[in-house]
Chains A and B, each alone.
Chain A
Amino acid sequence: MPQYGWLLDPKRCVECRACEAACKQWNKVPFGVRLRQVRIYESSAGKVSALAGACNHCDNAWCMKACPVKAIWRNANGALSIDGGKCLGCRQCAAFCPYQAPQWNEDLKVMQKCDQCPDRVEAGQLPACAALCPTGALRFATWDDIKETGVARIDNVSNPAGTRPRIRFVVAGFPG
C-alpha cells in the first residue's frame, strides 16, 4: 500500500482556513474540536508564518506508545487513528504529541485526531483539507514525493526529528 505524507508551503498560506472548514464538514467534527488548525507564528523579529497544523502521522509515534490501552492504530497507508471505543480519555497522547494534534471531545469524552480521511484516500481523493486548499499551501502526496520536495525543519515551529513525522516544508520563496 502507498505511504503518504504532508507538505506545507507557508508562503502560500493566506489564513483562509478552508482546510479547517473542509475537515470539519467532511468529518462532522463537533464544535470545540479542531483536528486541523491554521496557526500563526511570529518570530521575535516580526516575521510571520502561517501553517496548517494537524496530526503528522509520525513513523515513530509517541502518542501510540503513550496510549495505555493501545487505542491508537495505524492503517495500511500509514495513517494513525484513535479508536473511540477503546479510548479512556486519559489524554496521554496529547501530552506526548509535539503538534497539539489529539483533541479532547468533551461530548464523547474521548480524544480525536486527524485520521487522514481514509474514506477519501481509498476512493482516490485527497483528504478534504488538502483538496479544498485554494493555494497549494497544504499538499498531500506519496511520502516518497514529499520527501524529495521539502525540508524537515522550518523556523518558528517545533518539529522534533525523534517522532519521524510525515511532514516536510517548502522553504524556497517565489522566483524573482
Chain B
Amino acid sequence: MPDSSPSLLALTLAGQALLQSDPNRIAVPSGADGPLAGQIRLAQAAPDAVTQEYTRLFLNPAGVECHLWQSVHAAEPRLFGPAHHSALEWFRRFGAEPQQSNEPADHLGLLLLFYARLIEEGVPGDVTGAYFNDHIAWAAEFTSKLRQQARHPLYLALAREIQSILASGGTQAM
C-alpha cells in the first residue's frame, strides 16, 4: 500500500497551491524537487502573475473556470452542500476542523492536506481509500478543467500533480 500512496510532498504542495494565491506563502522544503516545487520557486520571483491567474481561474466574478469546492461539482452545484457536511464529519472524526470557519470545508486544498495527514499518520488503507472515494476522486473533473484553462505554468504543473495523485490514489482505493 505505501508504495502506491501519493507522496506527502506532492499532496502538501498541491493542497497549498490551491489554498494560497500568493506563491511566497507556499512553503517549499529545501531539496524538494519535481515540476510543481520548481514552478512554485520560479513563481516566487514574479508572484503577481500567479495571483492574477489564481483569481481568474478560481474566484473570478466574471466567470470562474474551475470551482475549488466539491459541492459545486455535485449534480446540483452549491456552496456548503452535502460534500461540505461530509468533509466536516471526516475531519471531526479525526479531531480536526478547518481554521477558516467562514469558508466551506470541501475545498480541494483542505481535502488534499487532510488526505496527506491521514497517510502520514498511518491510517489504514481501507479508511484512506474510503476518504479518497468520498472526497478526492471527484477532482478528476476539476483537473481536466484546470488543464484546459490554466495559462500559467504553475497551474499546469499543479494540474499534472493532482492527476498523478488521482492515479496513485485510485490504485490504492482498489
Contact = CB atoms under 8 A, between A and B. Distances in A.
Are A and B in direct contact (Cβ within 8 Å)? Answer: yes
Interface of A: 28, 30-32, 105-108
Decide if the interface of chain A is mainly helix, strand, loop or mixed.
loop
A65 B72 CA distance: 38
Contact of A106 (B74, B75, B77): B75
B136 to A, nearest CB: 19
Q: How large is the interface on B (under 10, 10 to 19, 20 to 34, 35 or more residues)?
A: under 10
Nearest to B77: A31
Interface of B: 74-77, 82
Contacts of B74: 30, 107
Nearest to B81: A28
Contacts of A31: 75-77
A32 B82 contact: no
A30 B73 CA distance: 12
Contacts of A108: 75
Main secondary structure, interface of B, reads loop
B71 to A, nearest CB: 12
Given A28-B82, A105-B75, A106-B75, 10 more contacts: A30-B74, A30-B75, A30-B76, A31-B75, A31-B76, A31-B77, A32-B75, A107-B74, A107-B75, A108-B75
B104 to A, nearest CB: 17
13 contacts: A28-B82, A30-B74, A30-B75, A30-B76, A31-B75, A31-B76, A31-B77, A32-B75, A105-B75, A106-B75, A107-B74, A107-B75, A108-B75
Contacts of A105: 75
A106 B76 CA distance: 11
Contacts of A28: 82
A34 to B, nearest CB: 12
A105 B75 CA distance: 9
A133 B74 CA distance: 28
Nearest to A24: B76
Nearest to A105: B75
A28 B86 CA distance: 14
A31 B76 CA distance: 5
A32 to B, nearest CB: 7
